Amino acid sequence: MTAIEAVRARQILDSRGNPTIEVDVRLANDALGRAAVPSGASTGDAEAVELRDGDPRRFHGKGVATAVANVAGPLADAVRGLDAEDQAAVDAALIAADGSADKRRLGANAILGVSLATAKAAAAAAGKPLYRYLNDDAARLPLPMINIVNGGAHADNPLDFQEFMIAPIRATTFFDAVRLGSEVFHTLKKSLAKAGHNTNVGDEGGFAPAFTTADEALRFITDAIAATGYAPGTDVAICLDPAASEFYRDGAYAYAGEGVVRRPAEHVDYLAGLLQRYPIVSIEDGMAQDDLDGWRALTDRLGASTQLVGDDVFCTDAARLAKGIDGGYANAVLVKVNQVGTLTETLSTVDTARRAGYRVVMSHRSGETEDTTIADLAVATGCGQIKTGSVSRSDRTAKYNRLIRIEEELSGQSQFRGDLAW
C-alpha cells in the first residue's frame, strides 16, 4: 500500500522570485508527500549540480522546466512501484537513474525533490509528522542561529562577511529562544534607524546596512543585545559566517569593504582578534574551501574554544567530511540537503559527523520556500542547532513556527538547551 504510484513536479517561485522545483509523490494508498527545493547563492564548488534551463527568454535563464521534465520522465520511471518506506532504495534508484558523480545529468534539484517528497509521503501514510516518522524517539529542539545582519553575496552592501547571527544561549525553550532573538532584532532595527542606516533586509531576512567592516556590525549587534536587557556572551552570543571562499583571491583574502588584502595567517589573526573583542562562539567557513592549510591553522588556533563549522569545504558530503576529520580541520559541519541531493546521503553525513564527535548544524539556503522540511530534520536528527535565517520574511519564519509547533506537540517530552555543544 506504500508503493509509489505517481510522481509529478512543477515550477514555483523561491524567496528571491526565482523559479525552483516542487515535487508531489503519491502512494498507492493515496498518501501524498510534497517538497520544494531551496537554492543557494553562495555555493561550494563540490555541491551537487542544480539544473537550470539556461533559456534567456524565460526567467532570465533560471527556469527549471528541464528538471521538472526529468521528474516526470526518468526519475518517475526509476521509482514508480518502489516502497516509499524504503528510503535508501528509492534514493539509490534516483542516483542510478542520473548516473553522474554530481547529479548534473538529471539535476540535483529534481532528485532532491523526489527524495524528500517520498519521505513525506511515507510519513503521511504512517500517520506521523516527518520528524517522528524518521525517529520515533525524537525530542531535541535545536538552538537557533538567528541571522541579524546580512552581507557578502546575500546583500547589496560593502560588508565582506556574509552573515552575523545571534544564538540565544540563555533560553530554556525553543519558543523562548525565538522570543529573545526577536527582541534583539527589533532593538537593532531601532538603533540602526537612529544612526541613519537603512533597515532594509537581505536575502535571509537580516538587516543590510552599509557597514564596511565586521567590527562595525559586531559593535551594533553587541550594543543591541545589551540595550535589550541581555548580557552579551552570557544570555545571547554571536555566530559568524564569513563565507570566506567568496573573497578568497590568488591565495589571499581580499576585503573589498576595507580595501585590505590579508594573507591566510593574517586572516586567522584577524578572526582571532574578533573573538577577543566580541562574544563570538561559532565561525562558519572562516577559511576558503580550497585553503586547507588555512583551515588547519584556524582549527589549531581556535578549535579548542570555538565552534568552527565547515560548509563549502564539506558540501554535506560524507566522504569530504571524512577527509576533513582525518585532516584535522573544523569541528562541525553545516548540513544542507540540496548540497548532496538525497535524504539518505544527508543522514549519512550527519552520522559521519556524530561518530567523529563533530557537531551538526542543520541549514536553509538563501533562496528558500515555505517548505519546512529542515525543521523536522533538525528534530529527527537531534542535531542541536539550526540555521534558518532571521525572524523576518515568511520563508524563514515558517521554519521557526514549525519548530514552535513541534515543541508544543512534544509537550513535556521536548528537550532544549542553549548550548552549542549539547
Cβ neighbourhood burial of 150 (10 Å; 0-12, 13-18, 19+): buried
Give the CA-trace dihedral at 4, 6, 12, 14, to 10 degrees: 0
Cβ(263)–Cβ(254) under 8 Å? no
Does residue 204 carry a catalytic annotation?
Answer: yes
Q: Between β-strands 280-284 and 307-310, what pairing exists: parallel, antiparallel or unpaired?
A: parallel
- CA torsion through residues 23, 25, 31, 37, sign: negative
pTM, two decimals, is 0.96
Binding residues for Mg(2+): 241, 284, 311
Does residue 128 carry a catalytic annotation?
Answer: no
| 422 residues of the chain, pLDDT tens digit each | 999 999 999 999 999 999 999 999 999 999 999 999 999 876 778 899 999 999 999 999 999 999 999 999 999 999 999 999 999 999 999 999 999 999 999 999 999 999 999 999 999 999 999 999 999 999 999 999 999 999 887 677 889 999 999 999 999 999 999 999 999 999 999 999 999 999 999 889 999 999 999 999 999 999 999 999 999 999 999 999 999 999 999 999 999 988 999 999 999 999 999 999 999 999 999 999 999 999 999 999 999 999 999 999 999 999 999 999 999 999 999 999 999 999 999 999 999 999 999 999 999 998 999 999 999 999 999 999 999 999 999 999 999 999 999 999 998 899 999 999 87
Catalytic residue among 204, 246, 345, 407: 204
Unique residue bearing C-alpha cell 580550497: 290
For residue 264, give the C-alpha cell: 591566510
Q: Between β-strands 280-284 and 237-241, what pairing exists: parallel, antiparallel or unpaired?
A: parallel
Cβ(19)–Cβ(64) under 8 Å? yes
Catalytic residue among 183, 336, 345, 399: 336
